[in-house]
Amino acid sequence: MPTLLVTGANRGIGREIVRQYAADGWRVIAACREPAASGVDEAETVELDVADAESVAVLAESLEGVAIDLLWNNAGIYPDKGLALDALDYEDWLEAMAVNVLAPIRLAAALKENVAASEKKLMAFTSSQMGSIARDSQGAYVYRSSKAALNMAVNCLKHDVRPLGIATCLLHPGWVRTDMGGGAAEIDVDESVAGMKQLLDGMTLETTGAYVDYRGAPLDW
């Protein structure tokens, strides 16, 4: 039975990732800050504050010797949605960088041996097309810059984990109807996750480092 560990597992895209992989017979380890209040009942829940180094270290210690086929760094925040330049909160910007960039790389580093010990050897990162500098977009300074930084960090990471046989993938889930995406978004979580899941099923070292949307379309960096 393959094993998935996914962060941000208590709502939105993360919650649907848990549901779909559990339905496929995977062992699912659902990580979130408050497992007791998560509402996740089809998977194992573990406590994790992705922005807290000690919390990551405690989780890594508890998982020593556990093979993780897919580590999906999904947790993220969008604190400046709809904010103009003069309304930006720079402390929120620092928090977004901690959660959206530092946390996924810290967790990948902490659990790389677990992933390397598995059969599938995959690391996925929920990014966004809003992190594409080539799109030359405006607004959302905090969220866009954090996702662009995540893209670069994972592009560096792929070189360090490739010798371990680990493939990486940056995924744009689409504009999804969640608390973050809003009710006017284009697709539901089930369509988004089903598409990303299909892509990951075919991910190999030959395709490592891909930056694609949930349909498999490559995105410009």
pTM: 0.96
What gap in Å lies between CA 48 and CA 7, rounded to an integer? 8
pLDDT of residue 38: 85
* pLDDT tens digits in sequence order for the chain, 221 residues long: 999 999 999 999 999 999 999 999 999 999 999 998 888 888 999 999 999 999 999 999 999 999 999 999 999 999 999 999 999 999 999 999 999 999 999 999 999 999 999 999 999 999 999 999 999 889 999 999 999 999 999 999 999 999 999 999 999 998 888 777 777 767 889 999 999 999 999 999 999 999 999 999 999 99
pLDDT of residue 185: 66
Residue 76 structure tokens: 């993220």
What gap in Å lies between CA 137 and CA 54, rounded to an integer? 36
With CA atoms as reference, report the closest residue to 3 among 15, 16, 18.
18
Phi and psi based region of residue 121 (left: phi greater than 0; alpha: psi -120 to 50; beta: remaining): left
Burial group, residue 41, by CB count within 10 angstroms (0-12, 13-18, 19+): exposed
What gap in Å lies between CA 61 and CA 11, rounded to an integer? 25
Residue 206 structure tokens: 């030959």
Residue 175 structure tokens: 């504009």
Q: Write down the domain spans for the chain.
A: 3-213
With CA atoms as reference, report the closest residue to 106 among 48, 62, 65.
48
Do residues 127 and 27 touch, judged by C-beta distance below 8 A?
A: no
Q: Which fold, 3-213?
A: Rossmann fold (3.40.50)
Phi and psi based region of residue 216 (left: phi greater than 0; alpha: psi -120 to 50; beta: remaining): left
pLDDT of residue 186: 77
